[in-house]
Structure 1
């Protein structure tokens, strides 16, 4: 079977099954194992001198391990390949987590804060309703790229090894790719490689969000994407803001300190409700369907 046919099946399985609790309460999820590997490397090698060099070697090790693991699993046949790919995709779980924020916000402000705290790293204690909805939508847009489109894209390009390598590098970036005193040097290679691997998928995600909404403001999306501190995450966020006609980003608190981030689509509506989260979820499924269509094209060419 072609890569297109395999990832098409994996996308459908993930959309139907999601993350079955009965399975992952009994077995460690591959993403958890990846996190443990990255954590072990961080503990063992992120100390002493030459931390950037050590980080480069550890990143190369992650790429090697991911490629080898992907090849070994791929050799077990297409059924195993599809199942592993489905496990490493996150469309249904993403939608479920975002929907929980909308439902929580409908119940009460504290419940909305509790639900959004599960998916964002910013301070949620004093969030108002619009801030909760905005945080959920931003997280949804970014994770559509990181958790669905990018891993599926790399499967199309390089099969299961490509997907596993991407997930390992992306996990490393989420754990050590920060410009903090501890990780600025050690996590440098992982962060830069993650930037490279997401260069095309992030922009593809923006297209998949914008086109179904008949949003053709390429100049505006590109301009706002550049405001983001990440070279890639701003693209799906900027597209989502225009698809929904709302303003995203803006000031928020981290570790008790307010950060004055610029608004994305600053002229958009800033008073948000759970209905905006519902509309975002519709956009997530439309983008997913668009990518499914692209995969189908790969099957027949």
Structure 2
């Protein structure tokens, strides 16, 4: 029942800005610890070992903290609230919806909104490119920010959820193939890949169930490997096929055009705010699928 309540609180209230003006978000605390370790240890020799040690030690710490919570005064309530803030359904839907709302005002509003959720260059994006960016972010972040946290909570409770969040935060900060992080962030990147392997594929199944499209699994399996990520291709391919849109494709990073292959290349490419709205609808329908499953598990247990 803890997970059911956490999902409801997140869906209803999302990220309360008033709270984070007074208290640091748990993910922010994790990020500060990773940033401190990066500055302290990402130098000299044996950076792979140092980076691995940092992630392992921090994972042990957050697991221990998560295991303490139920034994605190009001521990049950704290556990529900912590789980709620580490699930990102409403905030994800709001950020994606902002792109659709922005596009209905102007291209510049759409570019500004999508720049909040993608890492690619946005200053010259047209409406289809903005829309693809929003839909891709919706699919990938539904897997990383909703399905995976819920999956790991079901597997290992709050400690499992917190370790997943630590690994995901570490990957987003140091898991890059750059001169600075190629070695130090390698373990974080690989751990994040391992922890997201199951949730990414489950997300594709959730989207299939949400759209009642039992016929698209073959297309998802065909196109998922086209993505440069071993996991992100699964939710992205499922979203693309379910909405009949083409995703990925060429885009620019730091002024350099990257010629990525199209995912569901036969789908519509001239897309806009309507398709972004459809992606938001699918986020909520997918959430309902997971919520129904969580309710069944709670009742059975």
Output the TM-score relative to the length of structure 1: 0.97
Equivalence map 1:131-170=2 (5 Å): 131-170=129-168
Equivalence map 1:236-275=2 (5 Å): 236-275=235-274
Separation in structure 1 between the aligned mates of residue 71 and residue 232 of structure 2, nearest angstrom: 34
Q: How far did residue 214 of structure 1 move?
A: 2.6
Give CA-to-partner distance per residue, 1:11-46, whole Å, 9 cap, x none: 001000101111112221111111111111111111
> Once superposed, what is the RMSD of the aligned Cα atoms?
0.9
Separation in structure 2 between the aligned mates of residue 258 and residue 74 of structure 1, nearest angstrom: 50
- Deviation larger for 60-69 or 136-145: 60-69
The secondary structure found in structure 1 opposite 2:210 is coil
Q: How far did residue 228 of structure 1 move?
A: 1.0
Give CA-to-partner distance per residue, 1:51-99, whole Å, 9 cap, x none: 0011111111121112011112232221110011001111000011111
- Deviation larger for 208-217 or 288-297: 208-217
Equivalence map 1:176-191=2 (5 Å): 176-191=174-189
Separation in structure 1 between the aligned mates of residue 191 and residue 84 of structure 2, nearest angstrom: 24
Mapped contact 2:209–2:289 kept (Cα < 8 A) = no
- Deviation larger for 152-161 or 210-219: 210-219
Equivalence map 1:1-301=2 (5 Å): 5-76=1-72, 77-215=75-213, 216-301=215-300
Gaps of 5+ in 1: none
Output the TM-score relative to the length of structure 2: 0.97
Mapped contact 2:249–2:260 kept (Cα < 8 A) = yes
The secondary structure found in structure 2 opposite 1:57 is helix
Mapped contact 1:74–1:160 kept (Cα < 8 A) = no
The secondary structure found in structure 1 opposite 2:257 is strand
Separation in structure 2 between the aligned mates of residue 74 and residue 202 of structure 1, nearest angstrom: 29
Mapped contact 2:216–2:242 kept (Cα < 8 A) = no
Separation in structure 2 between the aligned mates of residue 99 and residue 217 of structure 1, nearest angstrom: 26
Gaps of 5+ in 2: none
The secondary structure found in structure 2 opposite 1:212 is helix
Separation in structure 2 between the aligned mates of residue 73 and residue 169 of structure 1, nearest angstrom: 20
Mapped contact 2:247–2:263 kept (Cα < 8 A) = yes
Mapped contact 2:221–2:234 kept (Cα < 8 A) = yes
Mapped contact 1:62–1:169 kept (Cα < 8 A) = no
